[in-house]
Structures are given as C-alpha cells and as structure tokens.
C-alpha cells in the first residue's frame, strides 16, 4: 500500500507539472481539437471541384451535351480552350483533366464508325485523377448512349450496398485516423518529455534522495500521462469527431477507451525508452521522427494494410499500433464487440506489457548510472 500511495502522489505531481507547462498543455488541446477537425474537414478523398477543360474541335450538339454534363460539385464549370493551350495548362497544373473532342465526332458516331475521344489526366493529383477519370468515362458513355437513343443492357444487374459509410464521407475516415495517430504521438512525447523535463530541471536528483524507487517514479509517469491521453481521447472522439465532424459512432465508446488504455501501455513505454536514450528535447524529437512516424504511417490507418508487401505486413503485425488501428475501426465504424476485437486487445496488451518491462528496466539502469 505504501508503494501504491507513492506512485499515486508522484503521478499527481506529474499532472501538476503538465498543467504548469502552458506550451505543452496548449499543444495537447490543439492536437485533440483543431488539428483533428482541420484534418477531417480539409483532407478529402472524394472527387470535388476538379478542374476540367474541353478542346472542342467538333462544335456539335453532342459535344455541347458532354460539356453541359460536367456539373458541380464534382467538376468546376469546364473551360473551352484551344489546341495550343493543352500542353501549357497541363504543365502548369491549371487543369486536372482536358477532354479532347475531335472534328466530326458526332457525324462519325452517327455513321456507325468508332471515333475516339482523348482524355488528358494530371496524375500528380492521384485521388482526383483516379476517381475523376472513372466518373468522366461513365458520364461520356451515358451521354453518348442517350444521344443515340440506346439503352445499355447487361445480363446481370449489380446492386451496390455500401456498409458503415453509405455516403463515402472521407472526413469520417480522416478524423478517426487523425485521432489514432495523435494518441500515439502525444503518448510518446508526453512520456519522453516527462523524463527529460526532470533531468533538465534538476528535479530528478531531488527524487533520488527521497525514499522512492526508480520503478515507482516510472510507473507514476506512465499512469499520469496515460490518464491524460485517455481522457483527451474520449473528449475528442465525442465532441470533435462525433459532434463537429458528424461521424456516427457505431460501437461502444467505453470499449474503445479500454482499448486505448491497453495501447497506452505500449505507447507510453516507447516514450519512456526514448526519454532515457535522449538527453534533450531536440534529441527526443529526432528519435520520435525515426521511430513513431514510420510506425504510424505503416499501421494501416493511412493506407490499406493488405496492400503492403507481405514481408512488411509480417513485421508490422508485431507492433501494437497496427492492432490499435484494427480494433479502433472495428469498434467505431462497424460496432464490433469484445467477442470480435479480443485478439487485437490481447496482442496489444501482450506486446505493450513486454515493451513496458523493457522500458522500466532501461529507466532503472539509467537512474543507476545517474546516481553513479
């Protein structure tokens, strides 16, 4: 009981220290509010306001129909251009698409010939280029079929049913991914900064002359920073992602927060390890870039995990960040319960406990070296 009281009071000291650091406190508030909202509303994977120009060398009724079919919000009003403008406009990224309608296109089509349309695509805008090219192909095919009075007949009718995100709102996806990434980043930074702050302020020496052990110091830092991150995650999920962005939460918020708490065993332990390796905040920042950013990018949140090379999938399966993304999306999007996500919970808790044991051992050795 004495050890538990010591860990409790040392953790409360960490909370007061965090509250007394206005820069770190404001950074936390920003990271779980404005940063997530701006990502969710500013980053979109849908086709929206794509710039398109038309080189109309036919000037027929059909070419006018094709021009009028490109409507907002998918496309901006098409601009008519000349042949000499195609290359410069594509080179300067003024247009994502340039549709070239050749001379006598309507006449050749009515005569049963097979004229060709040319669509120039700026593929540096990957999302809009891929989706927009498909949209343009469908629009052109539909307008030509309508103009010729034909109906498309296929032997099988495909009825698409979009589950969990029926309107394909990318803000729902980006908001949750931003929240998941910020949980990892803030947990690592807070735990690492707590160690470095003690060293820079000289308070670590004061702790060492008190009747407390390195294990108690480390556990106090872990639970206090983990509590702050868990509370901030719950508030951000509800007020920013759910209320401000408008994403419905399909599953249990307490179950998700339980998973967050399990994941924080790993994330705060990584921060503790980096804090013992770094001697200053700039060094911690460099280690953070080398360790945490690749872990976030390859966790399956920003791109499908299945699309990665098989060898990389095997390596990343050993990191709890991958399992964190998996159970977070399962709970929040698909309403999964504990009976479905328990394997991810088990993997996250197991690896997190192992990394925490290594971090505590490393912290103890660094304290012993400081004393020596």
pLDDT at residue number 202: 66
Give 17's pLDDT tier (boundaries 50, 70, 90): confident
Instruction: Establish if 160 belongs to a structural domain.
Output: no
Say yes or no: 90 and 175 in one domain.
Answer: no
Instruction: Establish if 117 belongs to a structural domain.
Output: yes
Q: What is the pLDDT of residues 78-100, one digit of tens each?
A: 999 999 999 899 888 899 999 99
Q: Among 23-27, 144-148, 156-160, 317-321, where is mean pLDDT lowest? A: 156-160
- Mean pLDDT, the chain, rounded, equals 87
Say yes or no: 90 and 218 in one domain.
Answer: no
Instruction: Establish if 186 belongs to a structural domain.
Output: yes
Task: Tell me the average pLDDT across 312-334.
Answer: 93
pLDDT above 70 (res 315): yes
Say yes or no: 57 and 39 in one domain.
Answer: no
Q: What is the pLDDT of residues 138-166, one digit of tens each?
A: 899 888 888 888 655 556 666 777 788 87
pLDDT above 90 (res 279): no
Percent pLDDT > 70 in the chain is: 93
At which of 89, 112, 147 does a domain end? 147
Q: What is the pLDDT of residues 191-220, one digit of tens each?
A: 888 888 777 766 666 666 667 777 787 888
Say yes or no: 202 and 268 in one domain.
Answer: yes
> Who has greater pLDDT, 114 or 255?
255
At which of 147, 177, 206 does a domain end? 147
- Which one, of 30, 88, 361, lies nearest residue 218 by Cα? 361
pLDDT at residue number 45: 78
Instruction: Establish if 162 belongs to a structural domain.
Output: no
Say yes or no: 203 and 330 in one domain.
Answer: yes
pLDDT at residue number 333: 92
The whole-angstrom distance between residue 338's C-alpha and the CA centroid of its chain comes to 24
> Who has greater pLDDT, 30 or 150?
30
pLDDT above 90 (res 338): yes
Say yes or no: 254 and 283 in one domain.
Answer: yes
pLDDT above 90 (res 4): no
Say yes or no: 287 and 351 in one domain.
Answer: yes
Say yes or no: 223 and 325 in one domain.
Answer: yes
pTM for the complete prediction? 0.82
Instruction: Establish if 78 belongs to a structural domain.
Output: yes
Instruction: Establish if 223 belongs to a structural domain.
Output: yes
Say yes or no: 271 and 307 in one domain.
Answer: yes
CA–CA dist 359, 266 (Å, integer):
10
Task: Tell me the average pLDDT across 262-275.
Answer: 91
> How would DSSP label each residue in 241-309?
IIIIS-----S-HHHHHHHHHHHHHHHHHHHHHHHHH-SSHHHHHHHHHHHHHHHHHTTTSSS-GGGS-
- Can you give the residue range of the structural domain that contains 290? 2-43+168-371
Q: What is the pLDDT of residues 31-58, one digit of tens each?
A: 999 999 999 888 877 888 899 999 999 9
CA–CA dist 272, 218 (Å, integer):
8
pLDDT above 60 (res 334): yes
Domain containing 124 — which CATH number?
A: 3.40.1710.10
Instruction: Establish if 152 belongs to a structural domain.
Output: no
Say yes or no: 353 and 215 in one domain.
Answer: yes
CA–CA dist 201, 180 (Å, integer):
31
Say yes or no: 175 and 286 in one domain.
Answer: yes
At which of 116, 147, 178 does a domain end? 147
Instruction: Establish if 161 belongs to a structural domain.
Output: no
User: Could you give the number of structural domains in the chain?
Assistant: 2
What's the Cα-to-Cα distance from 339 to each of 166, 232, 331, 348, rounded to whole Å? 25, 26, 11, 15
Say yes or no: 320 and 250 in one domain.
Answer: yes
């Amino acid at each position: 009981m004495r050890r538990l009281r010591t860990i409790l009071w040392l953790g409360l000291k960490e909370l007061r220290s965090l509250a007394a650091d206005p820069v770190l406190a404001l950074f936390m508030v920003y990271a779980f509010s404005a940063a997530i909202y701006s990502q969710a509303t500013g980053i979109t994977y849908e086709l929206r306001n794509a710039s398109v120009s038309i080189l109309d060398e036919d000037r027929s009724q059909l070419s006018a129909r094709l021009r009028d079919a490109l409507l907002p919000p998918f496309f901006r009003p098409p601009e008519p251009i000349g042949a000499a403008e195609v290359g410069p406009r594509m080179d300067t990224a003024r247009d994502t698409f340039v549709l070239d309608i050749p001379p006598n296109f309507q006449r050749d089509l009515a005569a049963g010939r097979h004229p060709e349309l040319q669509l120039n695509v700026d593929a540096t805008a990957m999302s809009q280029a891929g989706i927009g090219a498909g949209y343009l192909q469908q629009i052109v095919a539909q307008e030509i079929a309508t103009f010729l009075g034909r109906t498309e007949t296929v032997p099988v009718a495909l009825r698409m049913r979009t589950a969990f995100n029926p309107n394909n709102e990318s803000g729902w996806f980006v908001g949750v991914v931003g929240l998941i990434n910020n949980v990892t980043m803030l947990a690592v930074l807070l735990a690492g900064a707590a160690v470095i702050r003690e060293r820079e302020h000289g308070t670590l020496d004061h702790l060492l002359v008190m009747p407390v052990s390195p294990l108690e110091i480390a556990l106090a830092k872990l639970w206090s920073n983990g509590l702050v991150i868990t509370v901030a995650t719950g508030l951000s999920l509800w007020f920013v992602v759910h209320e401000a962005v408008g994403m419905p939460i399909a599953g249990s918020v307490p179950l998700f927060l339980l998973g967050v708490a399990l994941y924080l065993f790993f994330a705060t332990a990584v921060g503790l390890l980096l804090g013992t390796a770094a001697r200053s905040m700039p060094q911690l920042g460099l280690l953070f870039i080398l360790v945490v950013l690749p872990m976030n990018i390859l966790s399956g949140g920003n791109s499908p995990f299945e699309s990665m090379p098989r060898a990389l999938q095997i390596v990343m399966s050993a990191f709890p960040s991958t399992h964190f993304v998996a159970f977070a999306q399962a709970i929040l999007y698909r309403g999964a319960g504990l009976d479905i996500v328990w394997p991810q919970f088990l993997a996250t808790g197991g690896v997190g406990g192992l990394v925490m044991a290594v971090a505590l051992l490393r912290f103890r050795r660094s304290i012993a070296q400081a004393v020596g």
